[in-house]
Structure 1
Amino acid sequence: MRILITGAAGFIGSALAHALLDRGDEVLGYDNLNDYYDVSLKQARLDRLLLRDGFRFVRAALEDRAALDAAFADFRPERVVNLAAQAGVRYSLENPRAYVDANIVGFLNILEACRERHVEHLVYASSSSVYGGNRKLPFSVDDSVDHPLSLYAASKKTNELMAHTYSHLYQLPTTGLRFFTVYGPWGRPDMALFLFTRKILAGEPIDVFNYGRHTRDFTYIDDIVEGVIRTLDRVPGPDPHFDPLAPTPASGQAPYRVYNIGNHQPVELSRYIELVEQALGMTAQKNLLPLQPGDVPDTSADVDALMRDTGYRPDTPVEVGVERFVRWYREFYGV
């Protein structure tokens, strides 16, 4: 198939592109390589993809409607995976307009391009952040998600609502994936695992929020990619079991689905840090701090729906995933 991936120089996007190329798909990567984090890491991911047959690349932003429309017209994608976004919960407190521009205006441009080009299926990144103030665990796609705690979370919930509208009005098949704390080699420098590893190696103290007591459903990158591909290959139709008298946010009478994609085995942050220390053979100096504004104390994914519909089975223990990341980090940075 011809598959367009936005955010192709990002962590998940680059790993997904390699997996699709491995199975023989043509891939057009689309990314603006913004400086939210180290551009040289994004470029290194992209350089590996540019060596591969079947891969092409366009450097532009989602907000650039003309560039996006030109990419769609030239490549004529059959399916689209939208992973480009302004990421980060804490940064949304500092620069809220970036989230409206990339995550809402940019997503509208994606929806319009998919509608105009009759794309078979749009898969897009939502986030576990949409669960916000919910405290019932594990988080289920059938739960209400009307209490976001950050503009980032609100922008992702907005994407789900926009996607449903286009699925309803134009019969555009869409699937949203609520990612749960993705980690692994080539990961993002603003994420905890990357920060911990870098600072411990440098002999610097690490900031441990919520005093290390909060839990996260850490999900290894290979498991995430497998779930994205399984979802991409399954074009949704109207849910025959949808009841408008008792509606669920996860499906509808339109060709629309939302799934959690996680490891469904939460790990306490203090344990996560122990695994980093073991992999490095070093002990961290810790600054124990309260929970940060916009953060949630716990996440846990109910992935029963994704497992039922696609056969998704995450199988990478956090002990294995952390060790693989640390090995990659030391090789990549020569430390």
Structure 2
Amino acid sequence: MRVLVTGAAGFIGSHLSQRLLARGDEVLGYDNLNAYYDPRLKQARLDRLLPLEGFSFVQASLEDRAALEAAFDEFKPQRVVNLAAQAGVRYSLENPQAYVDSNIVGFLNILEACRHRGIEHLVYASSSSVYGANKKLPFAVEDSVDHPVSMYAATKKANELMAHTYSHLFNLPTTGLRFFTVYGPWGRPDMALFLFTRKILAGEPIDVFNHGHHTRDFTYVDDIVEGVIRTLDRVPGPDPTYDPLHPTPASSTAPYRVYNIGNHQPVQLLRYIEVLEECLGRKAERNLLPLQAGDVPDTYADVSALQRDTDYSPSTSIETGVRRFVDWYRDFYGT
């Protein structure tokens, strides 16, 4: 297939692009290489893709509608995976406008481009953040997600609503994927594992929010990519079991689906730090702090819908995943 991957120089996007190319797909990567975090890391990911047969690249933003539509028209993708977005819960408290520009305006441009070019299937990144203030665990795709606690989460919830509208009005098949705390080699420097590793190796204290008592459904990047590919290959149709008298956010009478992709094994942050210490062979000096604004105490993915429809659920343990990250980090940074 010809697959357009936005955010191809990003953490998940670069891994996904490699997997698609390895199975023989053509991939057009689309990324603006912005400076939200070190562009050198993004360029290093991209440099691994550029020599591969079947890969081409456009540097531009989702908000640049003309550039996006030109990329669609030249490449003529059959399917699209939209991973480009302004990421980060905490940064959304400082710069909410960036989230509207990329995650709302940019996503609308994606939807319009797909609508007018007969795209077979749009798969897009949502987030576990949409569950917001929900307390019922595990989080299931059938649950209400009407109480986000950050602007980032609100824009991801908006993406799901916008996608449904286009699925309903224009019969555009869309699948939203709620990712749960992704980690692994080539990860994002603003995420906890990367921050902790850098500071522990430098002998600096690490900030441990909520005194380390919150839990996260840490999900290894290869498991995320497998879930993306399984759903990309499964074009949704109308859900024959959908009952408009008892609606669910997970499906519709339109060709629309939403899935959780998580490890469905929440781990306390303190345990995550212990595993990292074991892999590094060093103890962390911990600066214990209260829960940050915009964060939630716990995440835990119910992946039964993903398992039912794709026969897949993530399974990589944090012991395995953190070790692979540390091996990559030491090699990449020479530490």
Report TM bin, short chain: over 0.9
Is the aligned partner of 1:30 residue 2:30?
yes
Aligned twin of 2:97: 97
Provide the rounded CA distance (Å) in 2 between the counterparts of 1:315 and 1:216.
15
| SS of alignment partner, residue 126 of structure 2 | strand
- Opposite residue 275 of structure 1, the aligned amino acid is V
Question: Could you tell me how far 1:323 is from its partner in structure 2?
Answer: 0.5
Aligned twin of 2:53: 53
Is the aligned partner of 1:250 residue 2:264?
no
Aligned twin of 1:174: 174
Contact 2:141 2:250 in 1 (8 A): yes
Is the aligned partner of 1:218 residue 2:215?
no
Unpaired runs of 5+ residues, structure 2, are none
Provide the rounded CA distance (Å) in 1 between the counterparts of 2:39 and 2:124.
23
Aligned twin of 1:110: 110
| SS of alignment partner, residue 207 of structure 2 | strand
Question: Could you tell me how far 1:313 is from its partner in structure 2?
Answer: 2.6
Provide the rounded CA distance (Å) in 2 between the counterparts of 1:177 and 1:102.
18
Contact 2:261 2:313 in 1 (8 A): no
Q: Please give the TM-score of this superposition, normalised by the length of structure 2.
A: 1.00
Matches within 5 A, 1:213-292: 213-292=213-292
- Opposite residue 182 of structure 1, the aligned amino acid is V
Moved over 3 A (4+): none
Contact 2:85 2:103 in 1 (8 A): yes
Provide the rounded CA distance (Å) in 2 between the counterparts of 1:321 and 1:51.
27
Question: Could you tell me how far 1:71 is from its partner in structure 2?
Answer: 0.1
Provide the rounded CA distance (Å) in 1 between the counterparts of 2:199 and 2:318.
20
Question: Could you tell me how far 1:314 is from its partner in structure 2?
Answer: 1.4
| SS of alignment partner, residue 275 of structure 1 | helix
Aligned twin of 1:156: 156
Provide the rounded CA distance (Å) in 2 between the counterparts of 1:305 and 1:315.
16
Aligned twin of 2:295: 295
| SS of alignment partner, residue 313 of structure 1 | coil
Provide the rounded CA distance (Å) in 2 between the counterparts of 1:164 and 1:222.
28
Aligned twin of 1:125: 125
Provide the rounded CA distance (Å) in 2 between the counterparts of 1:238 and 1:142.
16
| SS of alignment partner, residue 329 of structure 2 | helix
Aligned twin of 1:184: 184
Question: Could you tell me how far 1:315 is from its partner in structure 2?
Answer: 2.1
| SS of alignment partner, residue 123 of structure 1 | strand
1:166-208: CA deviation from partner (whole Å, max 9, x where unpaired): 0000000000000000000000000000000000000000000
1:128-165: CA deviation from partner (whole Å, max 9, x where unpaired): 00000001000000000000000000000000000000
Question: Could you tell me how far 1:279 is from its partner in structure 2?
Answer: 0.3
User: Number of matched residues?
Assistant: 335
Provide the rounded CA distance (Å) in 2 between the counterparts of 1:282 and 1:317.
21
- Opposite residue 311 of structure 2, the aligned amino acid is G
| SS of alignment partner, residue 240 of structure 1 | coil
1:27-79: CA deviation from partner (whole Å, max 9, x where unpaired): 00000000000100000000000010000000000000000000000000000
- Opposite residue 283 of structure 1, the aligned amino acid is K
Unpaired runs of 5+ residues, structure 1, are none
Q: Please give the TM-score of this superposition, normalised by the length of structure 1.
A: 1.00
Provide the rounded CA distance (Å) in 2 between the counterparts of 1:96 and 1:72.
28
Is the aligned partner of 1:81 residue 2:81?
yes
Aligned twin of 2:304: 304
| SS of alignment partner, residue 122 of structure 2 | strand
| SS of alignment partner, residue 279 of structure 1 | helix
Provide the rounded CA distance (Å) in 1 between the counterparts of 2:222 and 2:311.
15
Provide the rounded CA distance (Å) in 2 between the counterparts of 1:312 and 1:188.
25
Aligned twin of 2:14: 14
Aligned twin of 1:196: 196
Q: Percent identity?
A: 80
| SS of alignment partner, residue 288 of structure 2 | strand
- Opposite residue 78 of structure 1, the aligned amino acid is Q
